[in-house]
A and B are shown apart, each in its own frame.
Chain A
């Protein structure tokens, strides 16, 4: 009898429970925005300071350094991080009332050998000269804003020759570029390296898998050689794909930093 009475009370509660129908948007239907992440420099000499923030009451930020998307069991961000080694940092915001944010990715690079000289065979477009001929080796990365003067913008092939003192052993070169498809800025189509006037390395880049993208990207090319000089030829995407508004026309190529490690 007692069980029956309890069951009756339960039924009553269910019957009385409000449907909760409303025309308004509900919490847990929307995501919080991804955290804002800032590094004092994305090229590490000795160390840099990494900060993450989202000014919303109740937000908690978690991060990883192992490439995985952060969950609430990941490391909790509580104060600025002093970072000495290169790596990929991923940050995500969580809030009790909202769905978690998308992930903010911050890639930090180790500063490399600085070339003693750079000579250009082609010129950046007049509208996007960056800080001049040394923009791609000035040890500063660009932001997502293509107007940022850390970017040099090309509407055709970018070709230059770089010289190194004392023939350092260079393991790899990292070429940083911007993707901003809405602004007609696409990844390189092909990269050619000519080492010390003899060896040639050519890399063909894969076409974009997604349509609307805006992000910082890079390609790392293994060299494993002592280098006196290196000629770098970066080809822009010569024909925008069918899905793009500018189909058939050539894409912009925006590069910020070339890192020799």
Chain B
């Protein structure tokens, strides 16, 4: 074989190889790579365009909280009164909107009763908790708890979150108000309350979020974030303090339990030189932080967690997370340029 003939054949062979689909991605002039955030078992790619809508038709103000309903749809709560509730499918396609009367829409909790979805909305400007059907029909309203003797005016009650137990009991965190945790029966009648503003172990500074933890089925309990204190606190259903879990540097919003883990939006890094310094925090069933998308890798020294802080300028002010049935995460952000939620795809 002549050298010329060899070259001709080998270059054709090369063309065949390179055009074969298997090698399609083996060669690329594009040196960019997908961003991957998070650590260990919980790592994600980031889609900033998920759920973007025409702000003239479907605007958002702050995106406060998100849940997934039993049909698999993603339900977003915003304090924009043109459409307080925006419902997407998992691809980010708009399905429907409703709600025009919740100017302080903040907390969103989904429950099922007899196979039907219901929502609890906390509104810190209406100073109320409102229970609705999934399509927006109001069926219960809870006003400020004057019977506690702790509220002289309704304006002092600024509820941020609810959680509901199997028997229908409702716990409300008054996170922007008197820092009380209020316990109601399913009819909205006050049973008792605990907490209050302060730095003691059974008190709160910004009791921002609450959730019902049934991971230990024999001893279900309440997890409550004390955002300003960078702490997560556990209480019994009777309101007895059980434990504090420190998350130094992290202004954690509500705890969101998904399978065995707890997920948090972190509004800000405590000691950052700038405001929009939020990130995501994931804790395992042993209360150990295992991943912080957008922030420092969690590390423990002398049995204590090192201060966490933002390392990548990805998130601004994350306010809530929703984990879907594919383990992907949706991040709703407060005060972030009226931006729509961010989707994180688990890898």
Residues on A facing B (Cβ under 8 Å): 1-2, 5, 8-9, 12-20, 22-34, 36, 54-57, 97-98, 101-102, 104, 143-144, 182, 214
Contacts and interface: CB of A to CB of B under 8 A. Distances in A.
Nearest to B28: A18
A17 B309 contact: no
B25 A24 contact: no
Contacts of A9: 11, 14-15
Contacts of B11: 5, 8-9, 12
A2 B7 contact: yes
B29 interface: yes
Interface of B: 4, 7-8, 11, 14-15, 18-19, 23-25, 27-30, 32-35, 45-49, 271-275, 277, 296-297, 306, 309-314, 345
Which of A5, A16, A25, A33 has the most chain B CB atoms closer than 10 A to its own CB? A33
Chain B interface main SS type: loop
B18 A12 contact: yes
Contacts of B23: 16
Given A8-B11, A56-B311, A17 B35 contact: no
A25 B47 contact: yes
A56 B46 CA distance: 18
17 contacts: A5-B7, A12-B19, A14-B29, A17-B27, A20-B30, A24-B35, A24-B345, A27-B32, A27-B33, A27-B34, A28-B32, A29-B35, A33-B272, A33-B309, A97-B33, A143-B271, A214-B273
A12 B15 contact: yes
A245 to B, nearest CB: 12
Which 10 residue pairs of A and B lie closest in terms of their CB atoms, listed nearest first? A20-B30, A26-B32, A24-B34, A16-B18, A25-B46, A56-B311, A24-B45, A55-B296, A18-B28, A31-B313
B328 to A, nearest CB: 12
Most chain B C-beta atoms within 10 Å of own C-beta, residue among A5, A24, A101? A24
A59 B35 CA distance: 16
B18 A13 contact: yes
A17 B272 CA distance: 42
A8 B4 CA distance: 14
Given A12-B15, A25-B46, A104-B273, A20 B28 contact: yes
Contacts of A101: 313
Contact of A18 (B30, B47, B313): B30
A11 to B, nearest CB: 9
A127 to B, nearest CB: 15
B4 A26 contact: no
Contacts of A20: 28-30, 32
